Amino acid sequence: MMEYLFLLIPLAILFLAYRARGSGGFSAPEVSPISKSDLGAFEAAPSLWVNSSEAALFAILRRYMPTGFHVHGKTRLEDIIRVRRGLPEQLRWAARGRVKSRHVDFLITNRAGKPVLAIELDGASHNRRKPSESDKVKTALFKAADIPLHRIIVGEDFDSRAQKIGDMLKRY
């Protein structure tokens, strides 16, 4: 009987630790209340657009959008491209890190909300001959998700590019 006590004591400790932490399932994180003084740190952004090129492209894209398609600006990648379910937790978190805190300049969805095309507006900071690692990752992510990613360079004829995109979407 005494030899079993050496087994029961560690098992009892594990059981009590498990019970103390809950069912082991998901529990929503607690959010602390926010004080009125902390709220003073926030304000509405004046615009989603960082510059006049983004505002101009958005207006032109909207003009050429076929009925049933919608243009969204500054959409989080995490809302467009998700990590596959069923991956081990460590892989899920590593994969999520690739999409977290990134966005695409414009997203076009159909009337069901399905992403059909993404657009990046590449300004002076983008090097077409040698894309940045960030640009390469974003391009690869959209390819893996089977969502076309169009890159438009600031200075291109926005009207012509938007018209071609609109014509392409009419074929869906």
> Could you report the per-residue pLDDT of 81-136, keeping only the tens digit for each?
999 889 898 898 889 888 888 999 999 999 999 999 999 999 866 556 677 888 88
pLDDT category at 22 given cuts 50, 70, 90 is low
For residues 146 and 117, give the distance between their C-alpha atoms in angstroms, rounded to a whole number.
Answer: 9
CB distance 134 to 125 below 8 Å:
no
For residues 65 and 166, give the distance between their C-alpha atoms in angstroms, rounded to a whole number.
Answer: 5
State residue 121 phi and psi, 5-degree precision: -95, 110
* Domains of the chain as residue ranges with CATH: 52-170 (3.40.960)
Helical residues (DSSP H) of the chain, grouped into ranges: 2-21, 36-39, 52-64, 77-80, 89-99, 133-144, 158-170
